[in-house]
Amino acid sequence: MSRNEHQGQKKSRNEHQGQKKSRNEHQGQKKSRNEHQGQKKSRNEHQGQKKSRNEHQGQKKSRNERQGQKKSRNEHQERGQVRTTTPTTTTEEPGWREKQEVLLRLNDTVISPSANNRTPDTIWLFFNRIPRTGGQTLVSLMKSLSADLDYQHQEHVYRTPWQRLMSEDEQKNLATWFEYNFWPKSYDRFSLYINFTQHRSQYVTLRPAYITVVRDPVEKYISYFRFKRVDHERVKLEMAVKEKQRPGSGEWRGGRKWKGRYMEGKVVSGRVKEEDKWTGKGREEGKWKGKEREEGRTWYWKKLEECVSGDDPECDFSPGSRSFSSAVPFFCGQYEQCLKLGDPWALQKAKYQAEYDYSVVGLAEEWNTTLAVLEEYLPMFFQGARQRYWSQEFEAERQVNKNPKKYSEVPEKIIKLLKERMGPEYELYEFLRQRLHLQYKHIASRLAAPTTAFTTTSNVPRFAIWDRMDIEFSN
C-alpha cells in the first residue's frame, strides 16, 4: 500500500472520529437541555406547590376572618348592641356621620328629640302604619291629595300574606319596587322599620322619606283588643284558629298548618272557604266538637277587664314576650330583639330611628298639629292637607274604620294597671310627643302668616303609571 493511500485512510478515520465526537457533543447538549428543562419543570412544580400552599393558607385565613367576624357580630348582638351597616353607595346623606357616631355608642347615649327636618332629597314616601292609630284616615287623605300634587299613592293589598318581620330578600324586594320607576309615589303598609339605605341598589342614591302616626298606648291597646272582635274577616280567622287547632300543636285535623294569619290551603283572597266557616258547616261528618267550638266563643265574648286582670296569654305584658301590636318594634326595625317587650335596647333603637330617620311622627290625639307639621316638612306630599281634611268633600273619610259598637268606660283600675305594664311604650310615646311639639314650634311663625286657598285639580283625569310612561315617551 502506498504512502498516499495510507494517509487517506488515516484522514478518513480522523474525520469519522470527529463526526462521532460531534455526535457525542450534540447528544450531550441535548441531554443538558433535557436536564435544564427538567429542572425548570421541577421549579415550576415547586412554585405551583408553593402557590397552592399560599392559596390554601389564604383560604384558611379568609375562613378564620369570616369566623372571627361572625363571632364578633354574635358577641356584639349578645351585648344588646346593633350592627352598623355601610350604605351601598359612596354618596353620604346629610347627617350620615352623626348618625353612625350615635349608633356606635347607642347604649350609652341619651337621645333627645329635636325639631330637625330629617326629610331626605327624595320623590318617595313610606308610611309604615301602626295598628289602630288612625292610619286609614291619613291614607285616604294622601290618596285625595295625590291627584292635585302629581304623585301616586300605592295602598298595600292586605289580602295577600306579608309579614311585618321580613327576611332580607323581602326587604330588598320592597326597596327595588321603589326604584322600579322614578315617579313620585307614596306607599303604606303595616310593617316594622326597614333600612332602605342598606337595601337600595348601588346605582340609586335616593331613599323614601318616613312617616307614621302613634296613639296613646292604653287607648290604642283597648281599641285593638275590641276591633279584633268587630272586624268580620278577623273574627272568622281568629275563631277558626281557636276551634280547629289542636292544643299545643301547629297542625290541623285535616293535616294543614297555620302560617301567620293564613291557613295553608284554606284561605282564598283573605276569605275562609264555606266549609271552614266558624258558623259550623263541615268537619268530621258535619259535627263540631262542643269543646273546640266553646274555645272560639270564649275568645269572642272575652271582656277586656277579665283579660287584663287575669293571667290570659292574650293580655300578656311580661318582659321578653313578643308583640306585633306595640309601637316600639315599628320604629326599632327588622330584628327579633325589637319584638321583645320591655327590652332596653329595642326602646333605645326605636328612639334613634324616630329621631334620625323619620320626617314626621304624628299623634292621633293632636291631628291638626300633625297635619300642620306634615304640610311644612313634606309639602311635596301634604301641601293643603289641613284644608282638604276639613273640606266638605272629605267629611266621610275623617273617621274610617271607626268601631261602630258602643262600650262602657274601662274601669280606672284597669287603665292604671295597663299603664304600669306599658312603661317603655309610654316612654317612647312621650319622646315622640315632645318631638312633634318642637317641630310645630319651629314652624309657628310660618303658620301665622296668611295663606292662600289650595287649588284643586280633582277634575283632571288620573293616569296609571303605564299611561304616564307612554305620555312621556311619546313626547
Q: Lowest-confidence range among 5-9, 230-234, 465-469?
A: 465-469
pLDDT in tens, 277-326: 334 444 443 444 455 557 778 888 899 999 999 888 889 999 999 988 89
* Sequence ranges of the domains in the chain: 114-216+352-474, 232-301
Q: How many CB atoms sit inside 10 A of residue 34's CB?
A: 10
Q: What is the mean pLDDT of the chain?
A: 77
CA distance 386 to 389: 5
Residue 120 pLDDT exceeds 70: yes
pLDDT score of 353 more than 60: yes
Distance CA 221, CA 216 (A): 9
pLDDT at 98: 86
Query: Which residues are bridge partners to 251 per DSSP?
Result: 257
- Whether the pLDDT of residue 398 is over 60: the answer is yes
Mean pLDDT on 1-14: 65
User: What's the half-sphere exposure (Cβ side, CA atoms, 13 Å) at 256?
Assistant: 13
| Structural contact between residues 258 and 265, judged by C-beta atoms closer than 8 angstroms | no
The least confident of 3-12, 91-100, 169-178, 450-459 is 450-459
- Give residue 50's pLDDT: 64
Q: What letter represents residue 390's amino acid?
A: W
What pLDDT does 345 receive?
Answer: 96
**What does the alpha-carbon distance between residue 358 and residue 211 come to, in Å, rounded to a whole number?**
6
Residue 301 grid cell: 265574648
Q: Please check whether residue 381 is in contact with residue 149, taking contact to mean a CB–CB distance below 8 angstroms.
A: yes
List the one residue out of 276, 280, 287 whose CA is nearest residue 252.
276
The tens digit of pLDDT for each residue in 158-168 reads: 555 557 888 89
Of 328, 300, 327, 335, the residue nearest 314 (C-alpha): 300
Query: Tell me, what's the pLDDT at 86?
Result: 35
For the chain, how big is the Rg over CA atoms in Å?
36
Query: Could you tell me the pLDDT band of residue 125, with boundaries at 50, 70 and 90?
Result: very high
What 414-423 contacts at long range (C-beta under 8 Å, 24+ apart), as own/partner pairs, is: 414/304, 414/305, 414/308, 414/309, 415/218, 417/308, 417/309, 418/217, 418/218, 418/221, 418/222, 418/308, 419/217, 419/218, 421/317, 422/217, 422/218, 422/221, 422/317, 423/342
pLDDT of residue 16: 67
Fill in the DSSP letter of residue 251.
B
For 403-460, what is each residue's pLDDT tens digit? Answer: 667 888 999 999 999 999 999 999 999 999 999 999 999 999 988 877 666 665 544 4
Q: Could you give the angle at which helices 232-244 and 290-300 cross, rounded to 10 degrees?
A: 140
* Confidence label for 45 from pLDDT (cuts 50, 70 and 90): low
- Strands of the 124-129 sheet, one edge to the other: 152-155, 185-190, 124-129, 209-214, 358-363
- What's the chain's length in residues? 475
* Share of residues in the chain with pLDDT > 90 (%): 41
Q: What is the mean pLDDT of residues 230-234?
A: 79
Above 50 in pLDDT, residue 207?
yes
At 68, list the grid cell: 372571627
Q: Supply the DSSP string of 323-364, one letter for each residue.
A: -SSSSHHHHH-S-GGGGBTT-HHHHHHHHHHHHHHEEEEEET
Q: Which three cell numbers stand for residue 98?
A: 352623626
pLDDT at 39 over 50: yes
> Does residue 143 carry a pLDDT above 90?
yes
What spatial distance separates the first Cα and last Cα of the chain, rounded to whole Å? 115
pTM over 0.75: no
Average pLDDT over residues 102-112: 92
Give the C-alpha distances (Å, rounded to integers) separating 24 from 12, 28, 29.
18, 6, 9
146 is written with which cell numbers?
295625590
Classify domain 114-216+352-474 at the CATH class level.
Answer: alpha beta
- Please report which confidence band the pLDDT of residue 55 belongs to, taking 50, 70 and 90 as the band edges: low
Q: Are 210 and 358 in contact (CB under 8 A)?
A: yes
Share above pLDDT 70 across residues of the chain, in percent, rounded to a whole number: 63
